[in-house]
Structure 1
Amino acid sequence: MLLMMGEILRFGDVAEALPASSFWQFLDFHQSHVPWVGCSLHDLIQPSFSFLVGVALPFSISSRSSQMQSRSVMWMHTLRRSLILILLGIFLRSMHKEQTNFTFEDTLTQIGLGYPFLFALGFATTRQRVISLVGILVGYWLLFAVYPLPGPDFNWAEAGVTADWEHHLHGFAAHWNKNTNAAWAFDRWFMNLFPREAEFKYNGGGYSTLSFIPTLGTMIFGLIAGSRIRQLNAGYVLLKNFIVAAALLLAAGILLDLTGINPIVKRIWTPAWTLFSAGWCFLLLAAFHYVVDLKQRVSWFTPLIIIGSNSIAAYLMADTLAGFFSHSLEIHLGAQYNQIFGVSYQALVTGILVLLIEFLILRSMYRKKIFIKI
């Protein structure tokens, strides 16, 4: 959540103003999504969020069971939560549009689409979860692998990308190219079932509705991790398990990419990306477990606890209020206030102040025990 809120710092603007600075170019890269294949720190935000949804589920089910909630009551809550997440994602994507923008690639929408299936697996055995996970990844890989590649007469304008785009993959890996794949073909049909200002032809970023399927895979990895935490509570055995899982998943994802069997592409959530990003999630979880649980350095992470305790509020604030806060600062401090360190850093100055305002609001909510939950 902090990394997502931190987009307001706009490192890219500073990097553009200071093109000779490798420091700002580095920060810009890791605050941006890679064009297609690969990974930046920013690319790990969505899988981390999805992974933690899975981690939290065993604790949620246990808590509701201790309150004597029936399975049917829990299912009603699950379906309501799923619907709210889907509609909230559509609402956020429709802001400043002329009409409702029915789109399903937003983080909240993707989680909402997969959440009922995740909840069902919350009552399954580890073996059943692993079988489901393998089935999802293999099936999603096969869907893309059998979809035909563009022919010589293909109209690339219909895909919003040129035939010689520098990030195109070649050979077998070309089945996972931008807007010429199976998920793109599905959206060409599915997205046009809804009222639109114009016919849907492609998503400019290459994102797709069907990515919720492998995103469910990421949540299942989190579910397995959360169940393991409940079993072992804390300790070095748990730490070792997470590190080993991270190493195996990272190696598997990289191997699939290097061999051309499946590229690491976050935008369409390829199976290789699911494995690779889950490896990072396990590694990050291991690091936090070591520092916070084993070394008891909880106070180091108070700001993260404050933000994470109100993750939905943080998400909505970053998506809806950042512009309002920025404009308000200009009104009250003057249009030139953010040039105090020079024109090159004006976006950064504005970003720091907006981020501070958002954090203070979240801190106030935390102290007053106001938590927005779905």
Structure 2
Amino acid sequence: MNSVNTPPATAPRIGSLDVYRGIVMFLLGLRLLELDEVAVHFPDSAIWQFLGHHSSHIPWVGCSLNDLIHPSFAFLTGASLVFSVSARSRKGQSQWHMTLHALWRSVALIFLGIFLRSVDRDMTHWTFDETLTQTGLGYMAVYALAYCGIRTRWIWFGIILTASWLLYACYPIMPPHANPVDFNTPEGWQHDFTGFFAHWNHNRNVGWSFDRWLLNQFPRESPYLGYLGGYTTLNFIPTIATMILGLMAGTWIKRGDQPARQLMVASVACLAFSFVLHFGGICPILKRLWTPAWVFFSGGGCLLILAALYQIIDVRQWRRWSFPFLVVGVNSLAFYVMRHTLDIWFSETLQKHFGSHVFDVFGQELRPVTIGFCTFVAFWLVALWMYRRKIYIRL
């Protein structure tokens, strides 16, 4: 990891990418406010139920705003790779040097994700479903495709999604566990599929079965039985497809041939095809197993957001409103790590020195919101300090 000063003048940054990345970090930071848990205290408030819904993950099928954080992260990794490769080429770096750097970035992302999942545990928590780890596992494949033509990228996009679908569709449907609690099935779980979609049931699918083998090869505090959220290591395969969509988006922007229009058309096509797959009975729109339908649905959402931001920021130059997002967008990795390592410590420190009652100014039910807001502001101010001093943390 190294600190990098301002980007070279010959390679102006695409503002929409930085702002989009910042919006993603804001959504991640809003989790500090625990809006979903606070919303439980206001069951009759449509506003609180809306906020609670979109600040938490959907149990199984569907999507909330919070569910777009991970795919946006993967999508932006692909989009940014286009400009990263171009900038390094202009600096005269050889392809061999760039490949070694990409390999370092891939390995660093994998182990940084494992480190973040191991915080507050008694030993290394070997798991490969964390956002950074998933991105790292697929990074080299996307890096290789950055040097390929458009047709080759789309061919591999199709191969990856088809292979991912076949892995689940060809694996035998499993009956319910005799004792679901022993397989980390959430209490009162009522989201299982029947029929063909049962190939994608919670902790009864090929990804879960693979992890039962893989993750138990590592030292563990207790045997791995299944992840409560239903995520799997194999999710990294279709995540590569999400990054390819980002790679295509970055290429369209770099070429400058009506990129907003291309992004919009691709968005509509992806969203339409996701509904075809879901309602056509091919596979569900399911983030936690990163199904092909989810790749198209979330990818369509990412393309739509980027199209709007590109038109607003890079075409019309309406930038002033975006400064708070830009501050964390250019230092997204630093903000991400702060969010996952210092959040609990900082909130406990605030209460230790100021007392819990200080944060009850809006009522005890809203205490998590007040504490979370203060924590979020503190992290943002650190990012602002880094931004003012042109300190940008990269891998």
TM-score for the superposition, normalised by structure 1: 0.96
Q: Show the 5 A alignment for 1:171-190.
A: 171-190=195-214
1:231 lines up with 2:255 in the alignment: yes
Partner of 1:150: 174
**Partners of 1:163 and 1:43 in 2: how far apart?**
21
Query: 1:159 touches 1:180 (CA, 8 Å); kept in 2?
Result: no
CA distance in 2, matches of 1:139, 1:125: 21
Deviates more, 1:193-202 or 1:46-55: 193-202
Q: Which amino acid aligns with 1:259?
A: G
Q: Residue 294 of structure 1: which of 315, 318, 321 is its match?
A: 315
Q: Aligned Cα RMSD in Å?
A: 1.5
Aligned pair partner of 1:65 in 89, 97, 105: 89
Percent identity (aligned): 45
Q: Residue type matched to 1:86 in 2?
A: I
* Deviation for aligned residue 1:151: 4.0
Gaps of 5+ in 2: 1-24
Kindly tell me: are residues 35 and 152 of structure 1, through their superposed partners in 2, closer, same or farther at Cα, counting changes over 3 Å? closer
In 2, distance between residues paired with 1:84 and 1:69? 21
Name the amino acid aligned to 1:305. L
| Alpha-carbon shift at residue 13 of structure 1 (Å) | 2.9
Query: Pairwise mapping of residues 269-280 of structure 1 onto structure 2 (< 5 A)?
Result: 269-280=290-301
Structure 1 residues 86 and 152: alpha-carbon distance in aligned structure 2, compared to 1, 3 A threshold: closer
Q: Secondary structure at the match of 1:292?
A: helix
How far apart are residue 360 of structure 1 and its match?
A: 0.7
User: What's the counterpart of residue 80 of structure 2?
Assistant: 56
What is the number of residues matched between the two proteins? 371
Q: Deviations over 1:123-149 (max 9, x none)?
A: 001101000000000110011000001
2:131 paired residue among 77, 98, 107: 107
Decide which of 53, 56, 67 is 1:32's aligned counterpart. Answer: 56
* Residues 1:134 and 2:158 aligned together: yes
1:82–1:335: structure 2 CA closer, same or farther, 3 Å change rule?
same
2:196/2:281 contact within 8 Å kept? yes
In structure 1, how many angstroms separate the alpha carbons of the residues matched to 2:174 and 2:336?
Answer: 38
Kindly provide the amino acid, as one letter, of the partner of residue 321 in structure 2.
W
Instruction: Output the CA distance in 2 between the equivalents of 1:271 and 1:324.
Output: 38
- Matched with 1:316 is 337
Measure how far apart 1:103 and its partner are.
Answer: 0.3
Residue in 2 that maps onto 1:350: 371
1:335 is aligned to 2:356 = yes
For 2:227, the equivalent position in structure 1 comes to 203
Shift of 1:290: 1.4
Query: Structure 1 residues 323, 128: CA separation in 2 closer, same or farther (over 3 Å shift)?
Result: same
AA in 2 matched with 1:28:
G
SS of equivalent residue, structure 1 residue 372:
strand
Aligned-partner Cα distance in 1 for 2:40–2:178: 36
Query: How far off is 1:223 after superposition?
Result: 0.3
Q: In the TM superposition, what is the alpha-carbon distance from 1:335 to its structure 2 partner?
A: 2.2
8 Å CA contact 2:56–2:64 kept in 1: the answer is: yes
Residues 208-240 of structure 1, C-alpha deviations (whole Å, 9 max, x = no match) = 00100101100000001111111116xxx2211
- Which of 261, 267, 289 is the equivalent residue of 1:240? 261
Q: Shift of the alpha carbon at 1:22?
A: 1.6
Contact 1:322-1:354 within 8 A present in 2 as well: yes
Who is 2:272 aligned against? 251
* 1:21 equivalent in alignment to 2:45: yes
Q: Which residue in 2 is equivalent to 1:4?
A: 28
Question: Would the alpha carbon gap of residues 244 and 319 (structure 1) be closer, same or farther in structure 2, given more than 3 Å must change?
Answer: same
Contact 1:169–1:176, Cα closer than 8 Å, also in 2: yes
- C-alpha contact 2:273 2:293 (8 A) present in aligned 1: yes
| Deviation by residue 1:97-124 (Cα, 9 ceiling, x = unmatched) | 1110000000000000000111111100
Report the alpha carbon displacement of residue 163 of structure 1 after superposing the two structures with TM: 11
Give the match for residue 120 of structure 1.
144
